[in-house]
Structure formats: structure tokens, C-alpha cells
Chains A and B, each alone.
Chain A
């Protein structure tokens, strides 16, 4: 890799740092239970929850750090996200 003159970097560099490796718990989304309210996408501090064309949501595990905020904030009537411990 050549160094950019002027300590520059092209956009999108942070995508190369797959911070998902930091995770101890990972979220699993139950699309049956999901009411498509979008709270998880709003709350995710990593911005790694994305809406699919069918309005369901998927979680990009390359970048999810496993903080569990999505599971915590998923409304009581749905509770569609479960945190599972990573296999060691």
C-alpha cells in the first residue's frame, strides 16, 4: 500500500476494518416476529442494520460489535432480536 501524500485517505477506508471481530454476543433477527418498526436501525450505533426491499431488516455481522442495543430496544410486542453468545 502506498502512503497518500499529505496523510490522505480515500473514502470508505473504515469498511476494511471489520469490527465485527470484537463481538462476544451476536444478534439474531426473527423476521416472523419483526413488525418492521425500524427502531433497531435507528438505534444501532454502528449503522450496520439495513432495510431489505421486502421491508424486513438484516444485520451486517462484519461490523456489528454485539452491543445488544437493538435487542434491548426492540419493542416488547415484537422482541424479534435475540443475542446469542459467539461460539468459541
Chain B
């Protein structure tokens, strides 16, 4: 079983991202589970959402404490939250930021920094970075395919919004694949 923890702020679409990633993984043939860290659903407050992937039915119901992957939607969170908590060798951390800072990264964790806000603003016209970061996650982790991700986005959003979100996801996917991050 592999586990993903998404750190964001209320209103940034972290829960939607978790749901879409789980949907994409499931449609491509693995068991998946997505759920929010229930609680303070206030715009701006730090929130978490979780995804599990497994070849077998997922029974575990606790939150995720030792993630294989993290996505950080907003690097200002790193001030307040230990986003890397529980990560270990071989893990992947995807951080949305304009400029790379110095992070207290656990040993052996691969860091991918991407200016998802810029991509989202250019492609979608809004600083909502969840779909962009999902593209980066697909490329970095291999847990979901770009095709499955496109399908999940199309199912969730109406056509116009889906197109711009898919464009953002594709751009991030290509950047990570080509190592331009």
C-alpha cells in the first residue's frame, strides 16, 4: 500500500485533489481510498487530505502518518506545519512555490518544487493549484496516468473548466517528466 498526504489551506481544493487522484487510480485498476482530515473547514486554515493506493481492498481507516508522497499546495504552510512528518527514504515531496527555499527534508526524500500558482494563473486564470499539482504528482509518482487524471477531471468539472484544468495538469506533468522543475 502506498500513501499520499496533501497539505493545503481551506479553499485550495485539497479534498477535491484527493478525490480526483483516488478516482483516477481506481479507474486505472487499483484500489484507492480518499478522505479529508475532518475538522476546521475554514477558508485559509491549514487542512490535510489523504489518499491510499493498494492492489488489495483497503481496510485501514486511520489517518496517514508515514506517507510515501506529500503534496504541499502552499509553501507558507511549511512555517506552521511539519509537512514532512513521517516521510522516509524513497519518498517524494511535491511543493508549490515560486522560489525554492531550504527545507528540513528527511534523508532520501526526493524534492520536486514547481511554481504551480504561475501555471494555474496562466492556464486557468485562478490561483487554484490542485489540478496542476495532480499533473506533477502523476509524473513524479507513477501512481496515476495522465489519461486517467484527465478522465477524472472531465467527470468532475464542466467542459470549459475541465479543459483549462487539464491543460494545467499536462503542463506540470511534462515539466516534471522532462526534469524542468
Contacts and interface: CB of A to CB of B under 8 A. Distances in A.
Interface of A: 19, 21-24, 65-66, 86, 88
Interface string B52-86: 00000000000000000000001110011000000
B76 A88 contact: yes
B75 to A, nearest CB: 4
Contacts of B74: 24
B40 to A, nearest CB: 10
Interface of B: 9, 42, 44-46, 74-76, 79-80, 97-99, 101
Contact of A66 (B44, B45, B46): B44
B121 to A, nearest CB: 12
Q: Is chain B's interface secondary structure helix, strand, loop, or mixed overall?
A: loop
18 contacts: A19-B44, A19-B45, A21-B46, A21-B80, A22-B9, A22-B42, A22-B44, A22-B46, A23-B44, A24-B44, A24-B74, A24-B76, A65-B44, A66-B44, A88-B75, A88-B97, A88-B98, A88-B99
Nearest to A65: B44
Most buried by A among B44, B74, B79, B97: B44
Q: Is chain A's interface secondary structure helix, strand, loop, or mixed overall?
A: loop
Contacts of A86: 76
A22 B75 contact: no
A11 B98 CA distance: 40
A78 to B, nearest CB: 26
A21 B99 CA distance: 20
Contacts of A66: 44
A86 B98 CA distance: 11
A65 B44 CA distance: 7
Given A86-B76, A88-B75, A88-B76, A22 B99 contact: no
Contacts of B42: 22
Contacts of A22: 9, 42, 44-46
- Nearest 10 interchain pairs by C-beta: A22-B44, A88-B75, A21-B80, A65-B44, A86-B76, A88-B97, A22-B45, A88-B76, A24-B76, A22-B9
